């Protein structure tokens, strides 16, 4: 195994004994460029636009692998499919999600990042040691009803 290491995330491939294939590199690049959560289908489309000839199964496999490696993490909005986001370490670009349980609308927010950091750092330390768990990322979801769904709730 002799992956060239130019980017931070490339080290992880050595650590996990995985190869940096064109498909995997392209997926990582897509997430670096698109700063948003993407479904497997969306990643697949973006790969094709780039001219990468990959099968959808490989996309699923690699999204799964990258998640296990901690480079991506899954976010789930209850719409029946998984979404993936880059796990950004630096700069720490924390943002979380407000999810409307009725229409599925998702609002990204990044309020009170500093306070969150203080609180979650402490919590993470407690949990890591208590449960012997390597914490790689976290997600906060707020669930409720958005304005439009609140004003006209009907069967």
Partner DNA sequence: ATGATATTGATAATCGTTATCAAAATATTG
Partner DNA sequence: CAATATTTTGATAACGATTATCAATATCAT
- C-beta of 82 vs 116, nearer to DNA: 82
H or E stretch at 42:
helix 40-49
Reduced to 3 states, what is the DSSP secondary structure of residue 103?
coil
What is the rounded (10 degree) CA torsion for 34, 62, 87, 102?
Answer: 70
Task: Determine which residue in the list 10, 29, 34, 64 makes contact with DNA, applying CB under 7 A.
Answer: 64
Per-residue mark of binding to a copy of itself, 58-97 (x: CB under 8 A) = ---------xx-x--xx-x-x---x---------------
- C-beta of 51 vs 92, nearer to a copy of itself: 92
In the block, which residue shows the tokens 């790689």? 136
Side-chain-facing half-sphere of 41: CA atoms under 13 Å: 3
DSSP codes joined into one string, 66-91: HHHTTSEEEEE-SSSSEEEEE---SS
Alpha carbon 66 to chain centroid, angstroms: 10
Task: Determine which residue in the list 19, 22, 89, 119 makes contact with a copy of itself, applying CB under 8 A.
Answer: 119
Q: Does the footprint of a copy of itself cover residue 34 (CB under 8 A)?
A: no
Pairing of strands 96-100, 72-76: unpaired
Considering CB under 8 A, how many residues would be counted as binding a copy of itself? 47
Tokens encoding 80: 């029946």
Binding positions for DNA, rule: CB under 7 A = 1-3, 17-19, 21-24, 39-41, 53-58, 60-62, 64, 80-82, 155
Binding positions for a copy of itself, rule: CB under 8 A = 16-17, 67-68, 70, 73-74, 76, 78, 82, 98, 100-102, 107, 109, 111-112, 115-116, 119, 122-124, 126-127, 130-147, 150, 153, 155
């Amino acid at each position: 195994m002799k992956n060239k290491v130019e980017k931070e995330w490339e080290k992880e491939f050595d650590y996990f004994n995985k190869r940096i294939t064109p498909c995997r590199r392209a997926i990582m690049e897509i997430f670096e460029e698109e700063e948003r959560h993407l479904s497997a289908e969306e990643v697949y489309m973006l790969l094709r636009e780039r001219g990468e000839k990959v099968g959808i199964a490989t996309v699923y496999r690699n999204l799964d692998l990258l998640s296990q490696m901690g480079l991506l993490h899954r976010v789930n909005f209850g719409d029946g499919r998984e979404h993936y986001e880059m796990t950004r370490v630096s700069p720490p670009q924390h943002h979380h999600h407000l999810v409307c349980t009725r229409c599925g609308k998702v609002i990204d927010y990044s309020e009170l990042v500093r306070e969150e950091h203080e609180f979650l750092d402490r919590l993470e330390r407690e949990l890591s040691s208590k449960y012997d768990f390597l914490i790689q990322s976290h997600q906060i979801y707020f669930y409720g009803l958005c304005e439009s769904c609140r004003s006209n709730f009907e069967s």
